[in-house]
């Protein structure tokens, strides 16, 4: 179901004059990593509509041309061909074809023209899709993109000759620099208004062309002349989708089969391979006639790749880069603004000047309180000392936060105490705790968008493929992992490109272990709780939890691969590496905004409702046999709440992990709805309970909930990062698995694996810090031994398609 998508217009038809007076629809098609998204953003600006194509989860983007609002541009998914093997290819092909087989040749939803974006630095690979688009009977304009890089490399392309050979206009562009955009759209609009299909002179060898001519004769008038060649090629290849669509009688199908069989016998190859070879032969001729390569040495991209994709340096460089990304976003720049947001905007307030004097005064006051406690001061004396706590407003410019402002405003209009508690302690404390981490997310997504836009993240997939293959995993599994750093939902959806069902299921079960944007606040919360006032010595915490996700996926993949249900060869991984380039500021900012916006929208909807539910569970309960709103003035009232009852009932599960109190237990439970709820729950708990009295900072309050135990805090974080994802991701897993049994198995595996990792972290951490060896320590040892056995035992035998058993020892651990 589409979201915010534009209502589809009926295709213009009739005379050229009629077409000029109606809206024009232009499709943007091309290979992945050819600059298509950059061009789409440049042409449409902010006037974009995002949804899903009907019936599939493939994203649909539409927008109006910035200089002509009657021109709608549809950004089709990036594909290498129009063969119906992946959902992206099917969506692109169906949209370009429409109902072209019907009389009139122009069906519902078909665009008026196609802009085919090709990477000019890799012309031969990109023109394969072009040759297919030219057969569709549509006006086509080829955008020769990245021409600035071609010129920089010293290469030359004869654009006029290329246009003549392809039979369509060719426009030089650079989407990154905005070069040629206006000329490209003007050419495409003119082509759309004329409505004349492209007439390419690209042809195959005489034998293949003769076979195609005979298939066209069999088709007769069932298709229009402008698409007859397309359907003839697909019938000759024996493509089932086309055969089903045309519904030819048995006699015609038999005639086509005879033509195909004769060609295959003559060429000693299958028809699809013959056609593919013919296309590349034709493309090779075009490229040799129109492209003149420079005799210069290695390009900048090749020089960089020699280092960053080096067999020995690739992984260390990746580790350093991701460590810097998380260090900057969580430990330095991001923390600076998050402290201000959490303690200032959504807290009590923020002191802008005189902070040094205030800190000194607080230090003296804390020493006095500590001395009084050691001297055995009475409660009344301690209460008097508490009243002497320095007031930040006396030391400089102090601006009150949202919490006291809202409290005073509500009290001034006589609002009921329970409603004040709901708004201040529930909504503001919960949603505010989540939104307080937005600055860190902005920094993280900004850095990831830069790495993605410059072309480095594509190299990471290539680098990780080497590692994954050693363990019998597919490099394709790392693509969803890269996406998961933003959100687990699209990451699970991205697994549909993995053809092997075993690899796809295994990737679905493990990809959400990567810390997504919603989990970043959990990492930041843990970092703050452990770091305290000494962030300089604990900078490693945030990167460690990112790489914990990567390691957990690799370990899980190895262990699962060595079970009968996942045994088998990994799916081959082939991808095209784009040229390195300086990212466009506009595209980086738009990509960052899209990710941050989804987080903020979730905070304003799901998290908002969740905080209300959490507040209700914490403020309602059974006291003296009666159910109702608890008296918040009563000491320890929260122990009688519904939430405390739920937490106490399940706390025993997490006791071996070091966080067996009900408060920390319920934070993990609410995190199943949305991972942001973990922080929201902590925010509500610390605003209602006594954990934060010693230090108003939520970081310190969270540390107090964990009993101040670093191993327990680390185990808590590990469990919440690796366990079953949020409800939205679980729903996506259910759709992608298409099986309730496999969905429950995935949830169960992730949760048990997370519990086992948390157990080992806490038990071994306590042992190293001087704790005693207990029964649960022994259980942790057994778990570790079991994992090591599964990791290093030989891969089981499996049967290939022919039924012959094969040993996979060569894919085992080196």
Average pLDDT over residues 509-538: 72
Asked whether the beta carbons of 425 and 630 are under 8 A apart, the reply is no
SS3 for 239?
A: coil
- Helix H or strand E encompassing 755: helix 740-768
pLDDT score, position 779:
93
Residue 169 to residue 259: CA distance in whole angstroms: 35
Strands 113-119 vs 24-30: parallel, antiparallel or unpaired: parallel
- Helix H or strand E encompassing 549: helix 541-561
When pLDDT is cut at 50, 70 and 90, the band that residue 314 belongs to is: confident
pLDDT score, position 245:
84
pLDDT score, position 140:
92
pLDDT score, position 544:
80
What pLDDT digit, counting tens, does each position of 286-300 carry? 888 888 877 665 667
Instruction: With a cut of 90, say whether residue 302 has pLDDT above it.
Output: no
When pLDDT is cut at 50, 70 and 90, the band that residue 780 belongs to is: very high
pLDDT score, position 48:
62
Q: What is the CATH number of domain 16-194?
A: 3.40.50.300
Instruction: With a cut of 90, say whether residue 723 has pLDDT above it.
Output: no
Average pLDDT over residues 25-36: 85
What DSSP letter does each residue of 388-423 carry, written as one string? TSPPGGGTS-EEE-HHHHHHHHHHHTT--HHHHIII
**What is the signed CA dihedral for 346, 350, 356, 361, rounded to 10 degrees?**
-80
Q: Indicate if 206-292 has the same CATH topology as 16-194.
A: no
What pLDDT digit, counting tens, does each position of 652-666 carry? 888 898 887 888 888
Instruction: With a cut of 90, say whether residue 244 has pLDDT above it.
Output: no
Asked whether the beta carbons of 364 and 483 are under 8 A apart, the reply is no
pLDDT score, position 14:
39
Residue 511 to residue 482: CA distance in whole angstroms: 9
What pLDDT digit, counting tens, does each position of 170-184 carry? 999 888 787 888 899
pLDDT score, position 8:
34
Q: How many CA atoms lie within 13 A of 602 on its CB side?
A: 21
Q: What's the Cα-to-Cα distance from 372 to each of 359, 361, 704, rounded to whole Å?
A: 20, 17, 22
Name the phi and psi angles at 504, rounded to 5.
-65, -45
SS3 for 115?
A: strand
DSSP structure class, residue 641: B
Average pLDDT over residues 73-86: 82
What are the residue ranges spanned by the domains of the chain?
Answer: 16-194, 206-292
Calculate Rg over the CA atoms of the chain.
31
What pLDDT digit, counting tens, does each position of 427-449 carry? 777 677 667 667 777 887 888 88
Instruction: With a cut of 80, say whether residue 13 has pLDDT above it.
Output: no
Instruction: With a cut of 80, say whether residue 638 has pLDDT above it.
Output: no
Q: How many CB atoms lie within 10 A of CB 651?
A: 18
Residue 551 to residue 515: CA distance in whole angstroms: 12
Q: What's the Cα-to-Cα distance from 400 to each of 343, 344, 351, 395, rounded to whole Å?
A: 10, 7, 9, 14
- Helix H or strand E encompassing 799: strand 798-799
SS3 for 758?
A: helix
Q: How many CB atoms lie within 10 A of CB 788?
A: 10
Q: What angle do CA 542, 546, 550 make, to 5 degrees?
A: 160
Instruction: With a cut of 50, say whether residue 651 has pLDDT above it.
Output: yes
pLDDT score, position 311:
78
Tell me the percentage of the chain whose pLDDT exceeds 70: 81
Q: How many CA atoms lie within 13 A of 594 on its CB side?
A: 16
Backbone φ/ψ region at 487: left (φ over 0), alpha (ψ -120 to 50), beta: beta
Residue with structure tokens 């205030």?
358
CATH architecture, domain defined by 206-292: Orthogonal Bundle (1.10)
Q: Is 381 or 798 the better-scoring residue by pLDDT?
A: 381
Asked whether the beta carbons of 82 and 112 are under 8 A apart, the reply is no
Residue 515 to residue 325: CA distance in whole angstroms: 13
Asked whether the beta carbons of 337 and 439 are under 8 A apart, the reply is yes
**Mean pLDDT of all residues belonging to the chain:** 77
Q: Is 59 or 191 the better-scoring residue by pLDDT?
A: 191
Residue 272 to residue 261: CA distance in whole angstroms: 12
Residue with structure tokens 């000029």?
20
Structure tokens that stand for 426 in this block: 């529930």
What pLDDT digit, counting tens, does each position of 580-620 carry? 778 878 778 887 887 787 777 766 677 777 778 878 887 88
**3-state helix vs strand vs coil in the chain, percent to 5:** 65, 10, 30
């Amino acid at each position: 179901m589409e979201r915010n998508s534009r209502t589809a217009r009926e295709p213009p038809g009739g005379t050229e004059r009629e077409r000029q007076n109606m809206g024009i629809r232009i499709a943007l098609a091309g290979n992945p990593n050819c600059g298509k998204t950059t061009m789409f953003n440049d042409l449409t600006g902010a006037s974009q509509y995002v949804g899903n194509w009907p019936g599939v989860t493939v994203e649909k983007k539409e927008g109006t041309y910035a200089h002509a609002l009657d021109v709608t541009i549809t950004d089709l998914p990036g594909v290498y061909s129009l063969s119906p093997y992946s959902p992206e290819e099917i969506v692109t092909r169906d949209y370009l074809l429409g109902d072209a087989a019907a009389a009139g040749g122009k069906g519902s939803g078909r665009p008026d023209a196609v802009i085919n974006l090709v990477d000019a630095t890799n012309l031969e690979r990109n023109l394969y899709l072009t040759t297919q688009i030219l057969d569709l009977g549509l006006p086509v304009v080829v955008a020769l993109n990245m021409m600035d890089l071609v010129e920089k490399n010293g290469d030359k392309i004869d654009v006029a000759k290329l246009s003549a050979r392809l039979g369509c206009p060719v426009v030089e562009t650079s989407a990154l620099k905005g070069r040629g955009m206006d000329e490209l759209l003007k050419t495409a609009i003119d082509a759309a208004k004329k409505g004349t299909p492209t007439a390419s002179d690209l042809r195959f060898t005489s034998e293949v062309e003769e076979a195609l001519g005979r298939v066209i004769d069999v088709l007769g008038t069932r298709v229009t002349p402008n698409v007859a060649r397309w359907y003839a090629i697909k019938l000759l290849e024996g493509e089932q989708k086309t055969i089903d669509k045309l519904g030819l009688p048995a006699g015609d199908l038999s005639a086509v089969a005879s033509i195909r069989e004769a060609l295959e016998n003559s060429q000693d190859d299958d028809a699809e391979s013959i056609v593919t070879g013919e296309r590349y032969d034709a493309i090779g001729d075009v490229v040799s006639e129109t492209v003149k390569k420079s005799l210069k040495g290695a390009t900048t991209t090749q020089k960089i790749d020699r280092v960053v994709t080096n067999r020995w340096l690739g992984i260390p460089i990746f580790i350093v880069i991701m460590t810097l990304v998380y260090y900057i976003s969580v430990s330095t720049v991001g923390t600076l603004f998050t402290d201000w947001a959490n303690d200032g905007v959504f807290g009590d307030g923020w002191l802008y000047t005189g902070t040094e004097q205030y800190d000194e005064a607080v230090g003296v006051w804390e020493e006095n309180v500590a001395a009084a406690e050691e001297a055995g001061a009475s409660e009344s004396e301690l209460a008097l000392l508490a009243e002497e706590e320095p007031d930040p407003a006396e030391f400089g410019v102090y601006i009150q936060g949202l919490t006291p402002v809202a409290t005073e405003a509500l009290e001034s209009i006589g609002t009921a105490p329970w409603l004040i508690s709901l708004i201040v302690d529930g909504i503001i404390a919960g949603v505010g705790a989540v939104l307080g981490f937005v600055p860190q997310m902005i920094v993280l997504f900004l850095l990831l968008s830069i790495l993605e836009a410059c072309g480095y993240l594509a190299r990471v997939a290539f680098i990780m493929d080497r590692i994954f293959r050693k363990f019998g995993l597919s490099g394709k599994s790392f693509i969803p992992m890269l996406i998961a750093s933003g959100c687990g939902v699209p990451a699970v959806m991205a697994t549909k490109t993995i053809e092997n069902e075993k690899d796809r299921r295994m990737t679905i079960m493990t990809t959400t272990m990567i810390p997504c944007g919603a989990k970043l606040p959990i990492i930041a919360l843990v970092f703050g709780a452990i770091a305290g006032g000494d962030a300089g010595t604990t900078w490693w915490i945030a990167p460690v939890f990112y790489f914990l996700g990567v390691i957990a996926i690799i370990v899980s993949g190895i262990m699962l691969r060595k079970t009968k249900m996942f045994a088998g060869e990994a799916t081959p991984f082939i991808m095209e590496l784009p040229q390195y380039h300086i990212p466009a500021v506009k595209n980086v900012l738009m990509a960052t905004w899209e990710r941050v916006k989804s987080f903020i929208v979730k905070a304003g909807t799901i998290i908002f409702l969740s905080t209300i539910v959490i507040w209700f569970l914490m403020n309602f309960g059974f006291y003296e046999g009666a159910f109702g709103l608890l008296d918040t003035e009563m000491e320890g009232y929260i122990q009688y709440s519904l939430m405390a009852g739920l937490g106490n009932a399940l706390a025993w599960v997490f006791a071996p992990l070091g966080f067996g109190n009900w408060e920390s237990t319920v934070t993990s439970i609410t995190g199943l709805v949305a991972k942001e709820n973990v922080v929201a729950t902590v925010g509500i708990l610390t605003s209602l309970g006594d954990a934060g009295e010693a230090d108003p900072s939520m970081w310190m309050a969270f540390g107090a909930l964990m009993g101040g135990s670093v191993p327990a805090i680390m185990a808590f974080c590990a469990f919440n990062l690796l366990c079953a994802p949020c409800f939205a991701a679980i729903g996506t897993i259910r759709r992608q698995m298409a099986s309730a049994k496999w969905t429950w198995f995935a949830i169960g595996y992730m949760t048990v694996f997370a519990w086992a990792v948390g157990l080992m972290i806490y038990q071994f951490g306590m042992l190293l810090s001087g704790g005693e060896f207990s029964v649960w320590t022994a259980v942790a040892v057994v778990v570790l031994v079991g994992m090591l056995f599964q990791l290093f035992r030989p891969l089981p035998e499996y049967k290939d398609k022919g039924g012959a058993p094969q040993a996979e020892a060569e894919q085992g651990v080196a």
